[in-house]
Structure 1
Amino acid sequence: MSLIHNERTKLTATYLNGVAIAIFAVGGFAPAIGWLNSGAAPGMTVAVVCFVCISSSVGLHFIARSVLKGLKP
């Protein structure tokens, strides 16, 4: 029974980490690349959204790590 539990736990952690990567790519990385290509200074709203997305991504990644602590030997 612990094998099934472990696989479900790993699946949940993988899903959360995938969402974290998507949030980082769309909300954090893409605007940064856009700023570099345009050469213009970013607006305050865009900078705040970028910071929130990167912070959310990091938070979800650490939640996924904590989910993995539920693995059974």
Structure 2
Amino acid sequence: MSQIHNEQTKLLATGLNNVAVAFVVIGGVTPVTALSFGVANAPKLSVGTIAFAAIWISTAAGLHWIARRILRSLLP
């Protein structure tokens, strides 16, 4: 039973970490890429853009932290 618990725990942590990676892409990579390519509808570098990126990246860091905490419950 402990192997099943461990695998389910790892799957949950992996899923949360994948969502965290998606948040980094949405909030960090996408605005920077849009700015660097000069996309017409891209937001200009402003306090709002920086706050947008900071919120998404902070949320990603929180999700990653939760995933790490979940992994601490692995059984020996």
TM-score (norm 1): 0.87
What's 2:53 paired with?
A: 50
Question: Normalising by structure 2, what TM-score?
Answer: 0.84
Provide the residue aligned with 2:63 in structure 1. 60
Deviation, 1:68, is 0.3
C-alpha distance in 2 between matches for 1:35 and 1:47: 12
Show the counterpart of 1:17: 17
- Structure 1 unaligned runs (5+)? none
Structure with greater proportional helix content: 1
> What runs of 5+ residues in structure 2 fail to find an aligned partner?
none
Q: Counterpart of 1:60 in structure 2: which amino acid?
A: L
1:41 Cα deviation after fit: 4.8
Identity of aligned residues (%): 42
Aligned-residue offset at 1:52: 0.4
Give, in angstroms, the shift of residue 36 of structure 1: 2.7
Query: Which amino acid letter does the alignment assign opposite residue 19 of structure 1?
Result: V
Q: State how far apart, in whole Å, the 1-side matches of 2:32 and 2:4 are.
A: 41
Q: Give per-residue Cα distances to partners, 1:14-68, cap 9 Å, x unaligned.
A: 0000000001001211102222333x85132221111100111111111101100
